[in-house]
Amino acid sequence: MSDPETPNDLKSLGLPQIDQVGFVVKSVDEAEKRYGALFGPFTRMDGSVQAATYRGKQADAQLELLFGRSGDVEMEFIEWKAGESPHREFIEQGREGMHHIRFRVENADEWIERVAEVGYQPIWYKRFSPEIVFAYLEREGDPLLIEFLQMP
């Protein structure tokens, strides 16, 4: 029996609404063709990240991103090109599809501490400036990652 004072799910922590669903794909070109009618028009950008902390080490990742929408929710398609990131793991496991959900938060570091209560640990983290941070988190037995984005 769980302690009633300890939250056992994400909803009980008071997270904001999901603002993005992230998909890892082998090709953003193919994703654009396949999902254009559902989520387009799309915006494309280089999503490469330099010197992020990935599983305890500094690592670079080369990523290509495609952004669309479904109402208020952003749909992100990520093609891993090179380097170390959770997207590489996903593709190397032979997977393609839904990868993470994102929450925009005011203080990513505080949220990382809060979700540790329900088993989430950061695996990919980058502080671009005092105001801009992203973090991907995982928990054992759960294939869906969560992302926190702190950005004014």
So where are the chain's domains?
24-96, 98-152
Q: What is the CATH number of domain 24-96?
A: 3.10.180.10
Instruction: Show Cβ contacts of residue 9 under 8 Å, excluding neighbours closer than 6 positions.
Output: 118
pLDDT band for position 13 (cuts 50, 70, 90): confident
Query: The CATH number of 98-152 is which of 3.40.50.1000, 3.40.50.200, 3.10.180.10, 3.40.50.1370?
Result: 3.10.180.10
For residues 86-106, average pLDDT: 97
Whether the upstream peptide bond of residue 41 has omega within 30° of 0, thus cis, is yes
Q: What pLDDT sits at residue 11?
A: 75
Residue whose structure tokens are 């190397």: 92
- Report residue 38's pLDDT band, with 50, 70 and 90 as the boundaries: very high
* pLDDT single digits (tens) 74-92: 999 999 999 999 999 999 9
Note the maximum CA span of the chain.
49
